[in-house]
Homo-oligomer: A and B are copies of this chain.
């Protein structure tokens, strides 16, 4: 039968982007990938998983395998409270909801809040997975300008002054794709704007625990909790394969998010949540995190050194204090997509930055470089190949 003829109107908003193909090619054997956003396998607490399972089965028995509440597994919600308090997010177990990855929170927010044609404000560039979560609900996007200190508050305020925005979506710390962090002064400014304009912020914070240097900054949630949905995940500090994300949200919104997610997956894996509860409450996350930082710190340094060594003049890049990405801005006219095709033939992959812009033209000369999935030597070699490709042929240009 003709399936195309059956598709809903919204489905055309979901057209598979070329980035699926890019990530697929990047995962081919023999390719050194700076493309994905994968934690290193070495960052996983493999050695304690057997013990965690034994503890979970002894403590919870059949409950760990049974249906559970849509709001989340109670012991995990309780374990997350002090974990979040240490980051400056004040909540109770009841105040947070566990989802199947932070992607699940983004989907539920789109579903509950966005009617077709309504506006969501995002950074330019922004996290692609958020656009993929929101797109089926057919929003318009307002792109907020950014600089090296992250989103520009005045630009946000100007948009809110002239447009009714359902919510603002923001990754303020070690942003994906740029690695940029919103300064403390700007966090205060954004909070003030949210309150003055009575606007909802979705603060997505997957990376703040991955800080290699410098001092932690308080989340925007801490300055305006009633105007912020705070989202985070255990994908970077435990294991992404378990698909464990969560949010802290105002009660009136939380209720709808729970109802929406019940129709999507009933609840998140009870076993996964129970393992995470024991991982956190048993102090394992605190013990594992320094090892993860020690693994990634030299990789990030290797990336920064390699960019310095191998890229010609006319390129600049971010120097984040944490996270998983460095953002490279090439000279005007560089076609990063053509460059990616060129180096892929030599066994190296990155993600052309244009995919992180709603208006892709704005990002034609940009590159997102991941440094967590390859070791320092491989990173140096891969960036060397990229540098050679640029220098040999002259920068590929459009």
A interface, CB within 8 angstroms of B: 1-4, 6-11, 14-16, 36, 38-39, 41-42, 44, 46, 49-50, 53-54, 57, 61-68, 100-101, 103-104, 106-107, 111-115, 118, 129, 132-133, 135-137, 166-167, 198-200, 226-227, 235, 239-243, 250, 252-253, 255-256, 259-260, 262-272, 275
B3 touches A64 (CB 8 A): no
Separation of A65 and B113 alpha carbons in the complex (Å): 32
Using Cβ atoms and an 8 Å threshold, which residues of chain B touch A114?
A: 8
A67 touches B50 (CB 8 A): no
Contacts A49-B53, A264-B265 known; 15 new A-B pairs at CB < 8 A: A2-B198, A7-B113, A8-B114, A11-B113, A16-B259, A39-B66, A64-B241, A66-B240, A67-B241, A100-B268, A103-B264, A104-B265, A107-B265, A241-B269, A243-B266
Closest residue of chain B to A44 (Cβ to Cβ) is B65
* Cβ 8 A contact of A115, one of B2, B8, B49, B106: B8
B46 touches A62 (CB 8 A): yes
A103 touches B266 (CB 8 A): yes
Main secondary structure of the interface of A (DSSP, over half): helix
Q: Say whether, besides A49-B53, A265-B100, A265-B107, A252 and B4 are in contact (CB < 8 Å).
A: yes
Using Cβ atoms and an 8 Å threshold, which residues of chain B touch A42?
A: 62
Question: Taking the nearest CB of chain B, how far is it from the CB of A165, in angstroms?
Answer: 10
Using Cβ atoms and an 8 Å threshold, which residues of chain B touch A264?
A: 100, 103-104, 107, 133, 264-265
Interface hub of A10, A66, A166, A167 (most chain B Cβ within 10 A)? A66
Separation of A260 and B16 alpha carbons in the complex (Å): 9
Question: Taking the nearest CB of chain B, how far is it from the CB of A389, in angstroms?
Answer: 28
Would you list 22 pairs from A and B whose C-beta atoms are within 8 A, ordered by A residue? A1-B200, A1-B250, A6-B166, A6-B253, A10-B111, A14-B263, A16-B259, A38-B67, A41-B62, A49-B53, A50-B50, A50-B54, A65-B239, A65-B241, A66-B240, A68-B241, A100-B243, A104-B265, A132-B263, A133-B264, A135-B263, A271-B275
Using Cβ atoms and an 8 Å threshold, which residues of chain B touch A240?
A: 65-67
Separation of A42 and B115 alpha carbons in the complex (Å): 45
B1 touches A227 (CB 8 A): yes
Q: Say whether, besides A100-B265, A265-B100, A136 and B113 are in contact (CB < 8 Å).
A: no
The 10 closest A-B pairs by CB, nearest first: A41-B62, A241-B270, A65-B239, A3-B252, A132-B263, A53-B53, A100-B265, A8-B115, A65-B241, A44-B65
A243 touches B268 (CB 8 A): yes
Using Cβ atoms and an 8 Å threshold, which residues of chain B touch A255?
A: 16
* Cβ 8 A contact of A66, one of B38, B104, B133, B269: B38
* Cβ 8 A contact of A271, one of B11, B132, B241, B263: B241
Separation of A395 and B156 alpha carbons in the complex (Å): 63
* Cβ 8 A contact of A259, one of B14, B129, B266: B14
